[in-house]
Amino acid sequence: MSTNSDLQARRTAAIPRGVATAYPVFAERAEGSELWDKDGKRFIDFAGGIAVLNTGHRHPKVIAAVKKQLDAFTHTAFQIVPYEPYIELCERLNKLVPISGPVKSLLFSTGAEAVENAVKIARAFTGRTNVIAFSGSFHGRTLMASALTGKVAPYKKKFGPMPGGVWHAPFPVPQFGVTVADSLRAIEYLFRADVDPVNVAAFILEPVQGEGGFHPAPTELLEGLRKLCDQHGILLIADEVQTGFARTGKLFGIEHSGVEPDIMTIAKSLAGGFPLSGVVGRADVMDGPEPGGLGGTYAGSPLACAAALAVLDVIEEEKLVERANTLGKKIKDDLQRISQRNDTVAMSAIRGPGAMIAFDVVKARGGEEPDADATKRVTSAALAEGLVLLSCGVHANTIRILMPLTISDEVLAEGMAKLERALVIANG
């Protein structure tokens, strides 16, 4: 039987270093909010496959739906021989998204693929080429998605010139001294100095930045962007890949603002661990591309569609939107208490809507200077304690918490206790 060390050696020899792995532990099995590695050690999962497992590992209803689909067929390519689960899922998504009027959807496999196609759709509908994204954003690792991403290392490093027609504006973050007024002023300057708004197809942003550090987009920013879009005929794309499907205490993150996007990208927790993504938007916008211009061999896999339909049922039946808010309050209360201790690493800026929670590790209590080294010590100590935990942020000093929304109160409390011990251990 393989061990973690055996597999790490094989992984190093067989797989290029460009695919980074956070920890040298290898999954053997997983259930709910827990997983066990090849050495038999149990972990509480506060990473959730990077926000993919809102309904947990192997939710029984999701697994049952996939098994049923396996007995029917696994693949036809929707562009060749279509199938009902794809249509049914799109019909349900069209009713759920916060977009007024007729809505249409189409499905893909990954978040980056959804983003790429959202840009294609926006360009086809508007007849324009330019797209404005934001600093600190993350939209994927394909070339256009990397261009949109507002962070150089590691997403753009060594990959040569990025695709043209992409511009960035500063994202408002209080810790960085950037206000909404600063962001909107920078966009107006872009319009005057670099790109005519009549040539801008879309703005794209995350309602809560993911890799950038779990910074929520202020309602004032979204309202300002909506106003600019309406004024100049620009489309607003909400990248809901990480914020979607109950994580933020709403089904979609942008619902906190009351601002309607024209297009939304979705993925991650849509299918409970099966690869599936999508683009949802105004029907007239979505019909912009010509027939054959969109699609993909594995896009909208029937197995993933079956899983996604079950995921939507679970979210509704188990009231995971409400559960996200309950979990988020418990986590924030715990973090506030822990932050008052004098024997942990210094913590600041506890934040996030619903159960999309993060905090920063800083060099001094009451300060703002990032401490990336201490952050690494926290995640390493957490792993040793049996807790899978991720960091993020443009300064690599943000701890993010993405446990499944189906986690029990008992397992959550156990996980938070492990996090508290890790914060003490990391302080030396």
Residue-wise pLDDT tens digits, 289-336: 999 999 999 999 999 999 999 999 999 999 999 999 999 999 999 999
- The backbone torsions φ and ψ at residue 9, rounded to the nearest 5 degrees and listed phi first, read -65, -45
Is the CATH number 3.40.30.10 carried by domain 73-317? no
Count the Cβ atoms, other than its own, within 10 Å of residue 216.
Answer: 21
In angstroms, the CA 47 to CA 54 distance is: 10
- Which of 46, 268, 334, 371 is labelled catalytic? 268
| Structure confidence at residue 87 (pLDDT) | 98
Count the Cβ atoms, other than its own, within 10 Å of residue 366.
Answer: 7
| Structure confidence at residue 404 (pLDDT) | 98
Over the range 300-332, which residues count as b (16 or more CB within 10 Å of their CB) and which as e? bbbbbbbbbbbbbbbbeebebbebbbebbebbb
Contact by Cβ (8 Å): 297, 117 = no
Q: Is the pLDDT of residue 419 over 90?
A: yes
Residues 169-223: pLDDT tens digits?
A: 999 998 899 999 999 999 999 999 999 999 999 999 999 999 999 999 999 999 9
**In the chain, what is the straight-line distance between the N-terminal and C-terminal CA atoms, in Å?**
36
Average pLDDT, the chain: 97
Q: Which tokens in the block code for residue 14?
A: 């067989």
Residues 31-50: pLDDT tens digits?
A: 999 999 999 999 999 999 99
- Which of 239, 262, 334, 360 is labelled catalytic? 239
Residues 123-147: pLDDT tens digits?
A: 999 999 999 999 999 999 999 999 9
In angstroms, the CA 408 to CA 411 distance is: 5
Q: Is 428 helix (H, G, I), strand (E, B) or coil?
A: coil
Q: Is the pLDDT of residue 152 over 90?
A: no
Residues 378-407: pLDDT tens digits?
A: 999 999 999 999 999 999 999 999 999 999
Q: Kindly report the pTM of this predicted structure.
A: 0.97
Q: How confident is the model at residue 153 (pLDDT cuts 50, 70, 90)?
A: confident
Q: Is the pLDDT of residue 1 over 90?
A: no
| Structure confidence at residue 175 (pLDDT) | 86
Cα distances from 244 to residues 115, 170, 216, in angstroms, run 14, 23, 13
Question: Can you name the residues that pair with 388 across neighbouring β-strands?
Answer: 45
Is the CATH number 3.90.1150.10 carried by domain 4-58+319-425? yes
| Range list of β-strands (E), 98-199 | 103-108, 130-134, 166-169
Catalytic (active site) residue 191: no
Contact by Cβ (8 Å): 175, 209 = no
Cα distances from 289 to residues 222, 236, 296, 300, in angstroms, run 26, 17, 15, 18
| Structure confidence at residue 355 (pLDDT) | 98
| Structure confidence at residue 100 (pLDDT) | 96
- Which of 134, 138, 171, 252 is labelled catalytic? 138
| Structure confidence at residue 428 (pLDDT) | 86
Ordered by start, the domain boundaries in the chain are 4-58+319-425, 73-317
| Structure confidence at residue 314 (pLDDT) | 98
In angstroms, the CA 6 to CA 330 distance is: 39
| Structure confidence at residue 72 (pLDDT) | 98
Cα distances from 97 to residues 168, 209, 283, in angstroms, run 26, 19, 12
